Structure 1
C-alpha cells in the first residue's frame, strides 16, 4: 500500500496470475509504460493522478469494446484543448491495467493560458449564444449519421465477382469489404466528435452556475442547487415512457393477461396474434421500436449488454413490471409538475435574497444558460451511447459473421477479443485468401489466441481496481471531472483515508447530495447489469455508477447510492426526475455496504448511514 498522499504507483501494480501478457490484446498505447524501456513516458505517468473510470467501465473491457473509450480519449480532448480552447486544460489522457481504464487530466502550461482565454471566450460564447440553433443541427446530423450507418452494406465475398466489374471498370467485392470497415470506424469517430461538441460546455456551464451560487450563498446545499435545474424532458426518458404507454395500452385493450403470459417475447407475441386487440397492441409495439428500442439493456459500452432491439424480452419484462404496478394503483408517471413547482419555488426564494442588482443579473443569466443546456446530458446519451452503439454493435457482428464464415473465429462474438486495429488485418487476410483460393492464414492463428485472451479476460474479473493511482494533488479543480464524475478534493481525501481502513468498521459514508429526500431500507448492491434482476421493490440501489438505461428500475427502488458520479451525472439527474433520494460519489459505497444491510440515505446532506448489518 502507498503512504501519505499517494495512491498505488501504476508501475508497481502486479498482474494477477493467469493474466500475464494481457497487454498484447489492446492498442500499444494503453498499458502503462515499461520504466526500463520508456523512462520518459513512465516519468510522465508517475507525475499524474489517474482515476479509475468506473463510470463508463465498471467491469473489465474487451479489446473491441475499448473502441468507445479510445474514441472519447481522442474527441473529448480535441474539443477541450484544440476546438473550444479551455484555458487551463488540454483534456484527459487514458491508460489501462488488466482491462480497467484509468484517466488523468492534462493541464496547460500556465504561461500559455493568457493567450488561450480570448479564443475560449469567443468560441464558447458563440456556442452558448446560439445553443438552440446549433443543437437542432446537431440532432439532424447525428440522426443522419446513425441511419446512414444502419443502412451500410457489409458485403459477403461471393464465389465469383459480377461481370459488371469488367463491363463498368469498377472493383472487387474484396475492396468493398475493406472499405466498409474503414467507413464504419470513420462513423464511430465522427459520432464521438459530435458527442463532445456540447458535452464539455454543459459541464462548464453547470460548474460556473454552482460556483456563483455558492459564492452568493455559502451555506446553500447541493440539494437546493440541483433542484433549481430539475424538470426537463430528455430524449432518454422518452424511451422508458414508451414502455409505460404500452403497459397502459395493454390494460386499456384488456390484453394484459396475454402480455403477462410469459417472460419470453416469442410466446407473448404468439398469444397476441390470436386476437384483434392483441394485434392492435402489437402494432403499437412495432411503432415504438423506431427509434425508441435502440436502447441498451445496460450501458451501451459492452457488447454483452444487448439492446431492446435484439433482446425484446427486456422491454417486455419492464412492461410487465409496469402493468403489475399499475394494477396495484401506483402512479408511475414522472412527477414533472411537482418537480417544476418545487424548482420554481426554491429558485424564487434564493433569488429574492440577492440584494445586489448586478449579482441578480448574473444569477439570472447563469441560471438561464444552465437550464437551456441541462437536457443535453441525457439527450446525447440516447443518441450516442444507446442508439448509435446499438447500430455499431450490429455492424460489428456482421463482420464477426464473415470471420466465422471463413473459419477465422468460431463464434461471432469472438470478434470482441480483437482490437479495432487488428480487424483490418484479419479482413485483409480473408480477402487475400479469397482472391487466391486458399484458406485464410488466420484459421490456425486466431482460435488459440482468442481462447487465451478469453481466459485472461475471465481472470481480470478477480481484480478490484484501486479508485486512483499516483500522487494526489493539493488542489484538483477540473470542472468536467467534478461535474460528471464527482472527482474533487473531497473525493480524493475520502479515497486516501479509506486505503487502510477495515470496511467492516465503517458506519457512515459521506458523498454528494445528488437528489433530495431521506429514505431508510434494505441495500441492494449491484456491481453489474447482471445483478439488476435481483432488485426487489423498496430496495436502495447501491452501485459503482449508474447509467441511464438502469432508469427502468427506478420505479422499483426507494433510493440510490453510488461510488462515483457528480451531481450532474446520470445517477443524480435521473434520481431527481423520479424524486428518489440519492447520494453520489461516496467513493467506497460498494465496498462498505453489503446487500441486505439496512441503510439510511440522506439526499439532503449527502450522508449514508449503515443502520444495521445483514
Structure 2
C-alpha cells in the first residue's frame, strides 16, 4: 500500500475502515461539487447508490469499459472511476462507445424533447396524482417501491443525457481552441450563454410578483419591514395580503420544487419558501432596469455579438470546417441548455417528489413511536425503511441507531475530510468523458508553497478584475448578507442561486470547473469568477476586502474584516 494510502487511511481525525480491502488500492475522490457536506444514510442508500447503479447499467448497455463506484466514508461521499480492463485495452474499447455518443450528440435536441423530458414529466405526474395523506401503510409501501423504481429510471435518463451533454460542450471547446489557439480560455464557453431556461423563467416570475407587490402600499410595506421568516404570516392577516399570498403560492406550486442542494434530507422551497421571500424582498427595492428579462436580453445580444465576431474569423477557413463548427456549436448550445434544465426537471423535481414520500412515511413512523421525530427517518437506510413498513403496525424502536448516526454526522461535520483517499493511478486512458467531467467538477487547486499568505489560487473561469467585500455564504438561507457589489464566496452554486448573480461583482468557489454553474452564470453576467480553489470558504473571512483576478485565477486578500 502506498505512503499516501497509509497516511490518509490512518488519519486520527478521519479513520477509514475499508469494508472491501481491495478498495484501499483504488483512488477515491471526494465529490465536492455535489456533496461537500455529510450526507444522511437515507440520502446515500436511496438517492446516491441508485444514481450510481443506474449509471453503471446504462454504461454497460452502451459499451463503456468502466464504472464509477461510490462509498459512504465517515458520512462523506467518495467516488472512484475504475476500468474493467487494462488501460491500453480501454482505449480500443472506447472507440465504438464514442461513435455511439457522437450519434446522440448530433440529435441532442430531439432526444431531450421527444424522449428524456416526456419520460421525466410522466414520472412527476405519477407522484402528483398520488394522495400521500389518504394512503394506507400498505399503499404507502407500494408507493415507496414504485418511487424507488421511478427514481432509478430517472437516474438512467440522467446517465443517458449527461455524457453526451458534457461531451458536446467539451468538443466545442476543443474545436474552438484548435481553430483559434491564441484565444482566452473562457472565450468558447461565452458562446454557450444567453438563452432562456426553467430557472430564468422562475426568476422572471418572482420579478413579476415584485412588480405586483409595489402596486400595493400595504404589501410593499410588509415585504420591506418584515423579517423574511414572518412574511407569510403577515400577508395572511389582510384581504389584500391573502390575494397576493394566493399568487405567491401559485408560483411555489410551479417552481417551488427546487433547492440549493438536491438531497432528500433538506427542505425544498415549496416547504420552506424563505429563499424565495428574500429574493422577492430584494426585487421590491430594485428599479425597472433590473428586470431579469432585460438582463437575459442583454446576455442574448452579447452572445449574438460574439457569434458574429467569430463568424468573421471563420471566413478564412474552408467551408467544411465552417459547417463542422456550426454543427458543433449548435450541439454545445443544446447541451448547455439541457445541462441547466435537467437540474430543474431531474435533480430538483424528482428528488423533491421522493422527499415528500419519505416525509409522509417519517410522519407515520414518528406517530407510531418507531422514531422520535419525523426527520429521524433520514437516518435510516432504505432497506430498513422498507422492512419497517412491511411490519406495520408493529414497529421496532430505532432511536438508538438514529442517535448513533446523528452523533457520527455531527462529529465528522466538524472535520475537514481529505479530498483524496487511496492510491492515485499512474496513468489514464485518452478518455474524453474524464476530461469533460473535470470541466464541470474541476479538481482542487494544489497548494503552492510560493504563493503569498494573502493569496489563494483557483481556475480562472470568467475574466475581469474587481475589488470588493467578501461574503461567505454556505446556503441560500444566508443570501440576505449579500449587498450590491459584494463578492460571493461559497462551496459551489446551483441554478437556484442564479438570482444572486445580479447583486454580486464576482464569485469565488471551493469546487467546480469551467462548466460548473458558477462559471457559466458568471460569464453570462460578465463578472469575474474563480472556481476550484479548494479552500476559499475556510481562508477568506466574511467582511474582508479582497481582489478577484478572473483572468489569472488569483484572489488577493487586501485587509482583514
**1:260 aligned to 224, 231, 234, which one?**
224
From the superposition, tell whether residues 484 and 246 of structure 1 become closer, same or farther in structure 2 (CA, over 3 Å). farther
Could you give the per-residue CA deviations for residues 142-176 of structure 1, whole angstroms, max 9, x where no partner exists? 1220121233344779xxxxxxxxxxxxxxx6643
The equivalent of 1:60 in structure 2 is 38
From the superposition, tell whether residues 302 and 425 of structure 1 become closer, same or farther in structure 2 (CA, over 3 Å). closer
Could you give the per-residue CA deviations for residues 504-559 of structure 1, whole angstroms, max 9, x where no partner exists? x5333333332333221111223445544433332211112112222232233221
**CA–CA separation in structure 2 for the residues paired with 1:101 and 1:334:** 40
The equivalent of 1:99 in structure 2 is 75
Which structure 1 segments of 5+ residues have no match?
21-30, 158-172, 434-439
**CA–CA separation in structure 1 for the residues paired with 2:248 and 2:377:** 32
364-373 vs 579-588, greater mean Cα deviation? 579-588
Residue 387 of structure 1 and its aligned partner are, at CA, apart by: 1.9
Superposition map of 1:218-367 within 5 A: 218-254=181-217, 255-262=219-226, 263=228, 264-271=230-237, 273-275=238-240, 278=241, 280-296=243-259, 298-301=260-263, 303-304=265-266, 306-326=267-287, 330=290, 332-333=292-293, 335-354=295-314, 355-357=316-318, 358-367=320-329
The equivalent of 1:560 in structure 2 is 507
From the superposition, tell whether residues 369 and 93 of structure 1 become closer, same or farther in structure 2 (CA, over 3 Å). same
**CA–CA separation in structure 2 for the residues paired with 1:233 and 1:583:** 24
Could you give the per-residue CA deviations for residues 462-487 of structure 1, whole angstroms, max 9, x where no partner exists? 11012222344466665445445548
| Bigger Rg, structure 1 or 2 | 1
The equivalent of 1:437 in structure 2 is none
Could you give the per-residue CA deviations for residues 357-383 of structure 1, whole angstroms, max 9, x where no partner exists? 143332222112111221011101111
| TM superposition score normalised by structure 2 | 0.89
Could you give the per-residue CA deviations for residues 368-406 of structure 1, whole angstroms, max 9, x where no partner exists? 211122101110111122222222111101001111121
The equivalent of 1:76 in structure 2 is 55
**CA–CA separation in structure 1 for the residues paired with 2:203 and 2:133:** 35
Does the aligned pair in 1 maintain the 2:490–2:510 contact within 8 Å? yes
From the superposition, tell whether residues 63 and 177 of structure 1 become closer, same or farther in structure 2 (CA, over 3 Å). same
**CA–CA separation in structure 2 for the residues paired with 1:566 and 1:116:** 24
From the superposition, tell whether residues 156 and 426 of structure 1 become closer, same or farther in structure 2 (CA, over 3 Å). farther
Residue 15 of structure 1 and its aligned partner are, at CA, apart by: 5.1
**CA–CA separation in structure 2 for the residues paired with 1:234 and 1:127:** 22
From the superposition, tell whether residues 238 and 9 of structure 1 become closer, same or farther in structure 2 (CA, over 3 Å). farther
**CA–CA separation in structure 1 for the residues paired with 2:97 and 2:293:** 45
The equivalent of 2:9 in structure 1 is 11
Does the aligned pair in 1 maintain the 2:138–2:390 contact within 8 Å? no
Does the aligned pair in 1 maintain the 2:493–2:517 contact within 8 Å? yes
**CA–CA separation in structure 1 for the residues paired with 2:144 and 2:109:** 34
204-213 vs 91-100, greater mean Cα deviation? 91-100
Residue 178 of structure 1 and its aligned partner are, at CA, apart by: 3.1
From the superposition, tell whether residues 249 and 411 of structure 1 become closer, same or farther in structure 2 (CA, over 3 Å). same
Superposition map of 1:404-443 within 5 A: 404-431=366-393, 433=394, 440=395, 442-443=396-397
**2:454 aligned to 507, 513, 517, which one?**
507
The equivalent of 1:380 in structure 2 is 342
Residue 149 of structure 1 pairs with residue 113 of structure 2 = no
Count of residues paired in the alignment: 550
**CA–CA separation in structure 2 for the residues paired with 1:336 and 1:553:** 14
**2:110 aligned to 119, 123, 133, which one?**
133
**CA–CA separation in structure 1 for the residues paired with 2:42 and 2:312:** 54
Question: What's the RMSD between the two structures over aligned residues?
Answer: 2.9
**CA–CA separation in structure 1 for the residues paired with 2:185 and 2:167:** 17
Could you give the per-residue CA deviations for residues 435-482 of structure 1, whole angstroms, max 9, x where no partner exists? xxxxx3x13xx1122122212211111110122223444666654454
Residue 546 of structure 1 pairs with residue 497 of structure 2 = no
Superposition map of 1:480-559 within 5 A: 480=433, 482-486=435-439, 491=443, 494-495=445-446, 497=447, 505-529=452-476, 531-559=478-506
**CA–CA separation in structure 2 for the residues paired with 1:222 and 1:92:** 29
